[in-house]
């Protein structure tokens, strides 16, 4: 096979590969992972790169080798190297990890688990024990002697067990350390397991809280003794290249030999690379991580554990495992202590997973006195309604539009992503604010919400999201038969390309917000409740804490509640993982609340489709559902009143 | 003991829409047609006012129909190739309240008739009749956007009903109606929410509520008509309970839909007389939709119209 050398610009990274290798794979080898939302199918166009020179082979065209004379835009997943190449990777194609510290909302009910004296046991602990040496008066065997010491020091009547390899270490260790040791134990629910014995002044025991999202994986490194978060990191889930949603990945896993293994490897490598990053940042060692708590949807957890996930895809969409038994880290290939305990937050159903039970835990919904609504907008939308007395949940397929996927100018929340956008039709001018005040690259969830609201207000789009063709601005134009609107001209962007929103993309956003709103309405209707009865709304997931709640109501993403009743809660799944890492009471709580939450399948709810269609208007077909907007809308909507 | 019938009280009524303009109002029609106004469910006039009886219209095509079964073509004799004469016969002989001219010839997949040619047909039909006119496009979005404005202009001031405005194609037709003093049909694919969205879009475009008539795309008896019935009924209920954005009168097409059904035209002795079958299929569909709450029905066959007129009168007797 012919060797090729590929130079990736502007980074100047050179990789060597073989002729026939895809540019997508070569870029990965070069350490420059690219977006690939369709999983390399050649359909989404997100992996566009520019070949400056060299010989390539186009899989989607003739399949013949072609010499690139002038710079040419190609799809990295459909283009193989046929000779030495120079490839330019534009910023919007990069799968650049959002590098911010993860924060999420933690309600007082959840924080109570962490109060001293209430935590029960952390998932892993390191306990100093002072034992008296054996004598003729006290001939207790070493193991029992250690157990007695542990019981007195901390564990009372808990059952304690140990693996044979640890048991073998006990006699020599006790003597070497003069019967003054520190014991590392993990809480496996029905018992504790001794996983290591060492010097009393051993390093701090650490835990890892992980949120395995369909699109993004986030992790925090936590000091188990104190609960202090030492560092946080996030990366795109490497599974994204196998498909952008869970269904396509389940299908991929089924249709390929070793497909499930590959998906498992992909997420393992993502988590491991996060661990590496965290260890590097804190200078800690792999063996210090003795506990891992994972929140993720049922598919992500199944892939993580290597359990076939097919049942999720088929009616009645059950999760293969609700609450997985405790598993040790080494079996899962994680770069942590080989006997570290891995806890997975329980799933309620195939489509309502541990990320949501984590959210219920984090927000304190399970102990709320009044009606509380939790909306988690990710690639799937999940809704929970309830209080301390009962909880009901559902899920809907919102699509990843608000995560910036499937929108050419869409981005995850990362530096350069536009968070806020206002278009002024009189001046024909757009003002934006980006994360980190970097030059604008694209729009994240918050930015997309504000863009829709601003374009509606300026009458660039009508209330069903149609771009108004005769809008008097050169920004309104058509490309490939599809209307589009230029949000930013190329001289104002970091990509040196016009930042446009296309008609089809607006339609996707409308469908996503309609799915979320319809799921909320349908669930309320099934329960015989009115939105006004909701005392508190938590919006978790794709939106940053700067999201303007009123704007989200204006476009009908959120139901019409006063802003003071709404909390933008961020990554509550990760908060749930964090709390369960530190508290056995919280782990018990999350298991019981998962069992106590009733799942409603919207596909059997008669009104969902109707609600969905009615919600595909800005803000909604039935304006009386948005009483706070009606007064300001009166002029605009011709004073329509309605009550279907 | 005397039995007291429970009477339903409605808070609102269907809006009233007047089609056609006489010379007093700047048009040339000799009569007008008033749609809607009901403050009750159909034919329950003991519950509320229903000032205007159902309106029965007949459809005229701008292109000679091909393959019409004999029982359908027979009453029209030799006028099927002449829209003006066809329209005149519908009014004079068959008692149609008004005429719906369908410009199917404009369809690029048919004759691709030019806007001027369509406008010429509109002019001729208007000259041939004194009743109001519905001008209905060919259904091709882009072509309708060319044809309707020109036809609208030649009929300016006649207070015609222009069809159809859809969610993603309503601007041109709404602008024409506003400019030339016509009314608009808002179309939706058998969905109450989309119907309302179309009405809101039209209203926001400046078309007042008393210039909009709603059209849900329905089929005929035997082809999912139960769902159509429930959508029409729910729309009427919404109007009666105060939803002004669903408070406009409704129009239903039954002729072309009923005669699509194989039961209307297929030779099958076990199904009974072919002479009457199609007519009854059309009449049954029309009568069902009137019971559901539609305000105007558009027919093909004069006998179906006649039967429906008889039934509507009979049901209104109380």
Phi then psi for residue B313, to 5 deg, are: -65, -45
**Min distance B38 CA to chain A CA atoms (Å):** 18
Report if residue B154 sits inside a domain: yes
Residues of chain A with CATH 3.30.420.480: 206-355
**What count of Cα atoms within 13 Å lies in the side-chain half-sphere of residue A15?**
20
Residue B259 lies in a domain: yes
Write the residue in A462, A466, A643 that is nearest to B243 by C-beta.
A643
Residue showing tokens 């309405």: A521
Say which CATH class A3-93 falls into.
alpha beta
Is B242–A641 a contact, with Cβ atoms under 8 angstroms apart?
A: yes
CA distance B235 to B218: 14
Q: Which of A118, A365, A301, A342 is nearest to A227 (CA)?
A: A118
Residues of A in contact with B248 (CB under 8 A): none
Q: Is residue B1 part of a domain?
A: no
Map residue B175 onto helix, strand or coil: helix
B2 within some domain: no
Q: Are A566 and A539 in contact (CB under 8 A)?
A: yes
Average pLDDT estimate for B179-190: 97
Query: In which residue ranges of chain A is CATH 3.10.20.880 found?
Result: 108-198
Q: Which CATH architecture has domain A206-355?
A: 2-Layer Sandwich (3.30)
Counting the structural domains of chain B, the total is 1
Tokens of A570: 């961020």
CA-based max dimension of chain B: 70
Classify residue B132 by its DSSP letter. Answer: -
Q: Which residues of A touch B240 (CB under 8 A)?
A: none
Which has the higher per-residue pLDDT, A199 or B124? B124
Contacts of A112 (CB under 8 A, 6+ apart): A118
Average confidence (pLDDT) per 10 residues, chain A, 644 residues: 84 82 83 71 82 87 78 89 89 56 74 77 94 94 96 93 94 95 94 93 92 89 88 86 85 88 92 96 95 93 88 88 87 92 95 95 95 92 96 90 82 86 96 92 93 96 94 95 96 94 95 95 95 95 83 95 92 93 95 95 86 95 90 48 40
Task: Provide residues of B within 8 Å CB-CB of chain A.
Answer: 167-168, 171, 191-194, 196-197, 200-201, 203-204, 234, 238, 241-246
d(CA A594, CA A576): 13
Contacts of B196 in chain A (CB under 8 A): 614, 621-622, 642, 644
Contacts of A456 in chain B (CB under 8 A): none
Residue B1 binned pLDDT confidence (cut-offs 50, 70, 90): confident
CA–CA separation, A139 and A146 (whole Å): 13
Residue B189's pLDDT band, with cuts at 50, 70 and 90, is very high
Percentage of chain B beyond pLDDT 70 is: 99
Put simply, the answer to whether A621 touches B201 (Cβ < 8 Å) is no
| pLDDT single digits (tens) B216-274 | 999 999 999 999 999 999 999 999 999 999 999 999 999 999 999 999 999 999 999 99
Residues 6+ apart with CB under 8 A from A391: A360, A365, A366, A384, A385, A593, A596, A597, A598
Instruction: Give the model confidence (pLDDT) of A446-488 as tens digits.
Output: 999 999 999 999 999 999 999 999 999 999 999 999 999 999 9
Query: Position of tokens 């003795």?
Result: A290
Q: How many CA atoms lie within 13 A of A534 on its CB side?
A: 31
Confidence of residue B16 (pLDDT cuts 50, 70, 90): very high
| B241–A469 C-beta distance less than 8 A | no
pLDDT on residue A95: 62
Cα distance between residue B97 and residue B129, in whole Å: 11
State pTM to two decimals. 0.82
Contacts of B171 in chain A (CB under 8 A): 468-470
Please answer yes or no on whether B201 and A637 come within 8 Å at the CB atom.
no
The full length of chain B comes to: 318
Residue A433 near residue A418, CB atoms below 8 Å: yes
Shortest distance, CA B197 to any CA of chain A (angstroms): 6
Q: Is residue B9 included in any domain, yes or no?
A: no
Cβ of B244 within 8 Å of Cβ of A644? The answer is no
* Chain B residues closer than 8 Å to A461 by CB: none
Which chain A residue lies closest to B231 (C-alpha atoms)?
A610
Element (H, E) at B259: none
Contact B204 A463 (CB under 8 A): yes
Looking only at the bridges linking them, the beta strands covering A79-88 and A124-130 are unpaired
Strand (E) or helix (H) holding A34: none
**Using alpha carbons only, how large is chain A's radius of gyration in Å?**
27
Within a domain: residue B11?
no
The pLDDT, as a whole number, for residue A116 is: 66
The CATH number of residue B232's host domain is: 3.20.20.20
User: CA nearest A78: which of A47, A52, A34, A50?
Assistant: A47
CATH hierarchy code of domain A108-198:
3.10.20.880
Nearest CA in chain B to A619: B197
Instruction: Tell whether B33 is covered by a domain.
Output: yes
User: What is the rounded distance in angstroms from the CA atom of residue A368 to the CA atom of residue A313?
Assistant: 33
| Residue of chain A minimizing CA distance to B241 | A643
Q: What does the alpha-carbon distance between residue A493 and residue A505 come to, in Å, rounded to a whole number?
A: 19
Q: How much is the pLDDT for B318?
A: 55
Whether B205 shows a pLDDT value over 90: the answer reads yes
CATH 3.10.20.30 domain residues, chain A: 3-93
Q: Which residues of A touch B238 (CB under 8 A)?
A: 642-644
Write out chain A residues lying below 8 Å of B247, CB-based. none
A631 Cβ partners below 8 Å, 6+ apart? none
DSSP 8-state symbol, B167: T
DSSP-assigned beta bridge partners for residue A342? A292, A327
Query: Which of B191, B245, B246 should we substitute to test contact with A (largest number of A Cβ atoms within 10 Å)?
Result: B245
Give residue B81's pLDDT band: very low, low, confident or very high (50, 70, 90). Answer: very high
Mean pLDDT of B273-277: 93
Residue pair A213/A237 in contact (Cβ under 8 Å)? The answer is: yes
pLDDT at res. A639: 38
* 8 Å CB contact of B245 and A614: no
Cα–Cα nearest to A618, from A454, A376, A389: A454
For residue A641, the model assigns a pLDDT of: 40
Length of chain A: 644
CA A532 to chain centroid:
30
User: Taking CB atoms and an 8 Å limit, are A613 and B194 in contact across chains?
Assistant: yes
Tell me the shortest Cα–Cα distance from B179 to chain A, in angstroms.
17
């Amino acid at each position: 096979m012919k060797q090729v050398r590929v130079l990736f610009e502007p980074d100047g990274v050179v990789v060597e590969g073989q002729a026939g290798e895809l540019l997508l794979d070569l870029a990965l080898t070069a350490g420059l992972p690219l977006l690939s939302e369709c999983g390399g199918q050649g359909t989404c166009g997100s992996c566009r790169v520019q070949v400056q020179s060299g010989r390539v082979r186009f899989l989607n065209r003739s399949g013949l080798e072609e010499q690139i004379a002038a710079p040419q835009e190609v799809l990295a997943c459909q283009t193989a190297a046929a000779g030495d190449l120079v490839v330019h990777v534009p910023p919007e194609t990069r799968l650049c990890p959002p590098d911010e510290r993860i924060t999420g909302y933690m309600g007082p009910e959840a924080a109570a688990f962490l109060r001293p004296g209430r935590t029960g046991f952390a998932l892993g602990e390191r306990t100093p024990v002072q034992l008296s040496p054996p004598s003729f008066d006290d001939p207790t065997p070493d193991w029992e002697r250690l157990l007695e010491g542990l019981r007195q020091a901390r564990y009372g009547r808990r059952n304690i067990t140990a693996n044979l390899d640890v048991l073998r270490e006990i006699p020599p260790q006790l003597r070497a350390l003069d019967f003054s040791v520190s014991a590392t134990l993990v809480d496996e629910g029905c018992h504790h397991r001794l996983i290591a014995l060492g010097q009393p002044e051993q390093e701090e025991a650490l835990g890892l809280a992980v949120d395995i999202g369909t699109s993004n994986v986030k992790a925090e490194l936590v000091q188990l003794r104190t609960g202090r978060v030492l560092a946080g990191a996030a990366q795109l889930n490497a599974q994204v290249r196998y498909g952008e949603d869970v269904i396509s990945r389940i299908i991929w896993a089924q249709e390929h030999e070793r497909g499930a293994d590959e998906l498992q490897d992909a997420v393992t490598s993502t988590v491991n690379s996060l661990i590496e990053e965290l260890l590097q940042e804190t200078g800690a060692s792999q063996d210090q991580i003795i506990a891992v708590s994972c929140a993720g949807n049922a598919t992500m957890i199944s892939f993580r554990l290597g359990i076939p996930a097919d049942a999720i895809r088929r009616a009645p969409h059950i999760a293969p495992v609700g609450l997985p038994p405790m598993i040790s880290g080494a079996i899962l290939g994680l770069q942590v202590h080989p006997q570290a305990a891995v806890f997975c937050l329980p799933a309620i159903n195939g489509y309502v997973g541990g990320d949501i039970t984590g959210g219920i835990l984090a927000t304190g919904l399970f102990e709320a006195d009044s009606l509380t609504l939790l909306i988690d907008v990710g690639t799937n939308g999940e809704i929970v309604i309830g209080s301390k007395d009962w909880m009901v949940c559902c899920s809907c397929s919102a699509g990843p539009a608000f995560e910036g996927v499937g929108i050419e100018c869409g981005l995850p929340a990362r530096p350069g992503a536009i968070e806020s956008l206002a278009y002024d039709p009189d001046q024909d001018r757009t003002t934006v604010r980006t994360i980190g005040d970097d030059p604008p690259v694209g729009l994240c969830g918050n930015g997309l919400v504000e863009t829709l609201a601003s374009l509606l207000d300026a009458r660039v789009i009508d209330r069903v999201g149609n771009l108004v063709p005769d809008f008097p601005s050169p920004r309104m134009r058509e490309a490939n038969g599809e209307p589009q609107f230029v949000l930013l001209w190329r001289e104002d962007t970091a990509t040196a390309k016009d930042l446009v929103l296309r008609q089809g993309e607006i339609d996707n956003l409308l469908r996503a917000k309609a799915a979320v709103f319809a799921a909320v309405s349908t669930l309320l209707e099934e329960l015989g409740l009115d939105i006004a009865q909701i005392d508190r709304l938590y919006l978790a997931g794709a939106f940053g804490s700067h999201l303007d709640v009123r704007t989200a109501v204006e476009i009908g993403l959120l139901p019409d509640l006063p802003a003071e009743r709404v909390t933008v809660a961020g990554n509550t799944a990760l908060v749930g993982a964090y709390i369960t890492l530190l508290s056995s009471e919280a782990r018990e709580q999350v298991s019981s609340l998962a069992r106590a939450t009733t799942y409603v399948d919207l596909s059997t709810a008669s009104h969902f489709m109707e609600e969905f269609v009615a919600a595909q208007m800005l803000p909604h077909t039935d304006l009386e559902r948005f009483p706070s907007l009606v007064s300001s809308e009166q002029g605009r909507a011709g004073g329509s009143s309605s009550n279907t | 003991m005397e039995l007291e019938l429970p009477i339903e009280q409605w808070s609102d009524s269907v809006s009233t829409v007047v089609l056609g303009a006489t010379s007093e109002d700047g048009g040339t029609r000799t009569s007008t047609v008033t749609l809607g106004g009901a403050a009750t469910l159909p034919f329950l006039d003991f519950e509320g006012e229903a000032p205007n009886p159902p309106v029965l219209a007949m459809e005229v095509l701008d292109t000679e129909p091909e393959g019409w079964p004999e029982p359908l073509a027979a009453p029209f004799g030799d006028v099927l190739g002449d829209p003006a004469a066809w329209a005149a016969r519908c009014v004079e002989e068959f008692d149609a309240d008004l005429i719906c001219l369908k410009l199917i010839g404009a369809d690029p997949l048919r004759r691709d008739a030019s806007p001027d040619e369509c406008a010429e047909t509109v002019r001729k039909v208007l000259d041939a009749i004194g009743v109001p006119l519905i001008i209905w496009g060919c259904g091709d979005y882009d072509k309708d956007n060319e044809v309707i404005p020109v036809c609208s202009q030649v009929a300016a001031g006649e207070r015609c009903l222009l069809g159809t405005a859809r969610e993603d194609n309503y601007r041109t037709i709404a602008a024409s109606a506003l400019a030339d003093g016509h009314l608009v049909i808002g179309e939706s694919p058998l969905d109450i929410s989309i119907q309302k969205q179309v009405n809101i879009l039209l209203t926001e475009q400046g078309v007042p509520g008393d210039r909009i008539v709603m059209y849900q795309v329905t089929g005929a008896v035997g082809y999912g008509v139960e769902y159509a019935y429930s959508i029409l009924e729910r729309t009427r209920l919404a109007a009666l309970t105060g939803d002004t954005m669903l408070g406009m009168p409704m129009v239903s097409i039954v002729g072309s839909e009923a005669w699509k059904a194989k039961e209307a035209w297929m030779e099958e002795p076990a199904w009974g007389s072919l002479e009457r079958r199609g007519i009854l299929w059309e009449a049954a569909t029309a009568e069902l939709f009137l019971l559901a709450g539609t305000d105007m029905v558009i027919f093909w066959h004069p006998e179906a119209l006649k039967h429906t007129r008889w039934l509507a009168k009979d049901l209104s007797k109380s």
